[in-house]
Amino acid sequence: MAPRLQLEKAAWRWVETVKPEDIGREHIELAYRVNVPACKRGACRRNCKGNPNCLVGIGEQAWLGEIDENAFHNIDDPNSERRDKNTFVGLTNLGATCYVNTFLQVWFHNLELRRSLYLCHNSRAQEHNIDSDYEPQSICEHLQYLFALLQNSNRRYIDPSGLVKALGLDTGQQQDAQEFSKLFLSLLEDTLSKQKNPSLQNVIQEQFCGQFSYVTVCNQCGRASPLPSRFYELELNIQGHKNLTECVTEFLKEEKLDGDNRYFCESCQSKQNATRRIKLHSLPRTLNLQLMRFVFDRQTGHKKKLNTFISFPEQLDMGPFLEGKQDQKCVYELSAVLIHRGVSAYSGHYIAHVKDARTSDWYKFNDEEIEKMEGKKLQLGIEEDIGEWQENAETVKTQARKPKCSKGYHCSRNAYMLVYKVQEEENVEPSRNIVAVPAFLQRLVDRDNHKFEEWCTEMADMRKQSVDKGKAKHEEVKELYELLPARDGQPYEFVPLEWLKKWLDDSTATKEIDSSLFLCSHGKLHPDKVGDAKRVSLPAAQLLYQRYGGGPRLDDSSLCKDCVGQRCRVLRLKNQLNEDYREVSNLVKRTLSGEGYWVGKASLRSWRQLALEQLEEDEQETKHSNGQTNGRGPHSTNNKEYGPELPEGNEEVMKTFNEEILCSHGGLSILEAERRLVSSEVWTKLRAYFPKAPEFTQHQEPCSQCLTLEQEEKDNEAVSKMMAQDQKNQLLNLFQEKNRPTLTKWPQGTDVLYIVPLFFVDEWKKFIRRPTKSSPVSSVGNSLLLCPHGGFMFTYDSLLGGDAQHIALLWPSEWDVISRLFIVDQPISIHCSSHTTPTGSTTQYSTQPELCWECREGFIFQQQRDLREYTQATIYVRKVIEDKRMIKEAVPEMNASSSEAEEEREEPPKVDGERDPDFSQSEDGAKRVKLSDGTTAAASGPVPVTNVVKPGGIRRSTRHRKLRGEKALIVSANQTLKELKIQIMHAFSVAPFDQNLSIDGKCLTDDSATLGSLGVIPESIICLKADEPIADYAAMDDVYQVGMPEEGFKELTAE
């Protein structure tokens, strides 16, 4: 099928030869494309939107032919959530709790521990009403219920969130797995020790606890000093070792104590050289061996993982390592291997390989997924391929290749814990491997299984309903789609294309048919909307409206003749427009003869564009889309083809023709430069396109009201100029800033100076410079400098210290002039008086009105508060070298603007009174103001700081001069010192723990304190002294983000 644009052009090609009044039925059907041939299936890759008869590619492909019933629903088979026969139950990963899941599976497969937990007294579970959900409280109750579900649940996996929440673990942060094992066993031991049943009180000790002693032997007298201790796991160093035997041997090897590490012998009563070693006395039934893969790296200051291959046996004989008690069982069998995937100590994934005590089969527990190993053998498999990727994104092999393992041995570089159990005798009763769930727990499990079965039934019913609904929809579509095409000469209706697509899209609910958006202003189908509708047969339309409802219905009587006629008129005018444009362009160049008409120059320059937009607006006036605003459409151009008599310029785009010569009173504008006369012939042609445009003949007088207002404005400007000149002459020194009094050196010949706000002086100067553009100043406004009680807000000392930036000082003669010229709400003056005392002459200064101390203190307090409640302010950090001096302090930084050096040059005040940009710069927070004596002080208040004028009348720049070795940082008051150190780390490559920060000689040490509380204000300079640097700064971010990995165990240890 032809493209949409071609179809649209073909639908209106007839307008070139047919006038609007000659339109017939055949022209209307051409405009609505009623007779465009329908597309056949396979002919179109997608639906032809320009053809209302194309019903291909609207979603029918999914329904034609046979359909698999699974396509009618998006509900997974609930049986996929069901536990398979002779398999174990998994545990849901709650975010970063895979390390918890691995230990829970290992402890669940410890039959003695599980049996003991089932025997614990649980009155809450025994008395629980089976009609409500059971919510365990204590850790023991959670473990009981969790183990019972793991044993007899019908679910493929269960949610351990109850236990995780009771332990107070952070599900979003991965913790130290080895530390979790220790703390949890300690907590469980404490919980079981409080049981009334004596056989339960020592379960943890019997299962996991062994004994060893630290034996120290004095080399001088040979006295042995044993220190007995219990252990729940042996922590074995793996660095530099290849197999488990080497690790155990190093753990028990003799250590020499000499030099500064000598041992104080009780017999010798002095420090002596000695040896120390660990002696194993007894081993538990379950031996936990922690392979210390996560070690602290002193170079980087954080933990790292050792990816060392360690070989370990399936059968471990601990007899050679045991001291005495040769009668106890020393041969162990491997029962679990805990694996950590990943190269980082702070991330990765934990899984567990566990041996089933009943069948001796090996299983891999990976959260919800459980996989049985083939052939009753441990198969570490792909877990040993994880770890070849380094954190720097380079693929390099870590250490050596995987060594070959002899029969009965396994080799791993990701195993971090090995669990061995004492080898059982062959004639052990089978009943020992059977652990029954107590009846009170089984009731709770049965209830959970019942809920699961109900859920499965509900999901199956929902699947069935979806399938039944889909099949019915399938039959409906096959039936109706055959009826959709409208036959030639048969009745038809138009149906929205989007509705048909949604009807054929089973993923959305089918709503009623809404054709209201397709109507024109005459209540019929708009010609422009025919591309978004499809012409269907009347029988099909009746079935669709009968089943889904809606409206209004658009049949063959809905083709709008008025809209077609209007479009025909517009298109014909568009074709005529170019010819009229050329003719008008020629006519305006001729000399005017006879009566003329006023036309705006801007309108004349762009009349073709305005006419085109007006025609398009008429064409689309009822179209339901983003219509173009006249004069602002995509075709807007500046037509400059009228020759030199039409000046070029970026005139404001017109909204309506000739509007720029229409004044606000509806008369002819008085701005004659914006209009010109055109002949009546030109106006007649323009009037055809703009029948509503304002019309003014050449004899039309300009608006009398505008003329009156113009004359009044000229008179006012003359008065303002006279007033400004008079005020300037009377206050010339104030305007030119000459001979100004200062407080730093009280002028001779007067004991009083007057004060006005600097704002008043600035506004007055604006008026003097541009009297016709600025409003005259009427009032001094001294109340700005007074408190609500009428008292003055500044002291003489504060004015010397920087508050003078808010005021201007006046001579008494100038005050007399100002009092006559302006309204004075409250005179403010400062007086100097001398008093003779026995010790000499003293000078005192006072103000009138007097200072209001209460409001002054509140003002200072607010200033200090503002300095400590800032956001996005700038501070400067300077790096200090060993001799405590700033790095080349006196030399400005090379990349600083060269204008900064020039700013230090002295320059006389400008005669016109305008200040340089630095003199009136405005930034939030306090500025460092350079005083006349060369010292630096903080200007009080958040008011914009101006330069201090020296007695000689020379200004100094107050911009902060950046020095080499100094960097600017953007900070906020509520930011902590720790966060600032991280910013400094990125700026200076100095690790946070190597940073020594100080401000004004005060050390900043509290990392948790905010900058506001530490006295760091905007524009502060912080000194940085760095300790000996660390080589790897790339890992510093990770260290500060990770913090202490055991943070999540606070609640667990609190138990």
Q: Which positions ≥6 away from 191 have C-beta within 8 Å?
A: 138, 139, 140, 1055
The CA-atom distances, in angstroms, between 898 and each of 892, 903, 904 are: 10, 9, 11
Q: Which positions ≥6 away from 51 have C-beta within 8 Å?
A: 1, 7, 33, 36, 38, 39
CA separation for the pair 809, 826 (Å, rounded): 15
Quickly tell me which residue has 């660095």 as its tokens.
239
Quickly tell me which residue has 């942060």 as its tokens.
173
Asked whether the beta carbons of 969 and 983 are under 8 A apart, the reply is yes
What are the structure tokens assigned to 1008, written together? Answer: 């948790």
Closest CA to 847 of 874, 867, 828: 828
The CA-atom distances, in angstroms, between 401 and each of 307, 602, 956 are: 11, 83, 71
Report the alpha-carbon angle 271-276-279, nearest 5: 145
Paired sense of beta strands 234-236 and 286-291, if any? parallel
What are the structure tokens assigned to 13, written together? Answer: 């090609």
CA separation for the pair 146, 534 (Å, rounded): 61
CA separation for the pair 331, 287 (Å, rounded): 11
Largest CA-CA distance found in the chain, in angstroms, rounded = 139
Q: Would you call 98 a catalytic residue per the annotation?
A: yes
What are the structure tokens assigned to 630, written together? Answer: 């006249």
Q: Which positions ≥6 away from 994 have C-beta within 8 Å?
A: 1026, 1027, 1028, 1029, 1030
Asked whether the beta carbons of 200 and 120 are under 8 A apart, the reply is yes
Name the active-site residue from 27, 48, 54, 98: 98
Chain Cα centroid distance, residue 119: 51
CA separation for the pair 932, 948 (Å, rounded): 8
Closest CA to 342 of 398, 387, 388: 387
CA separation for the pair 796, 801 (Å, rounded): 9
Asked whether the beta carbons of 575 and 669 are under 8 A apart, the reply is no
Ramachandran assignment for 1000, one of left (phi > 0), alpha (psi -120 to 50 degrees), beta (any other)? left
CA separation for the pair 159, 146 (Å, rounded): 9
CA separation for the pair 344, 513 (Å, rounded): 59
Q: Which positions ≥6 away from 176 have C-beta within 8 Å?
A: 294, 1045, 1046
Estimate the crossing angle of helix 177-192 against helix 98-108, to 10 degrees: 50
What are the structure tokens assigned to 539, written together? Answer: 């029988």
Q: Would you call 349 a catalytic residue per the annotation?
A: yes
CA separation for the pair 945, 926 (Å, rounded): 8
CA separation for the pair 498, 515 (Å, rounded): 11
Paired sense of beta strands 1002-1004 and 1021-1026, if any? unpaired
What are the structure tokens assigned to 232, written together? Answer: 């729940």
Name the active-site residue from 27, 142, 340, 349: 349
Tell me which residues are annotated as active site.
98, 349
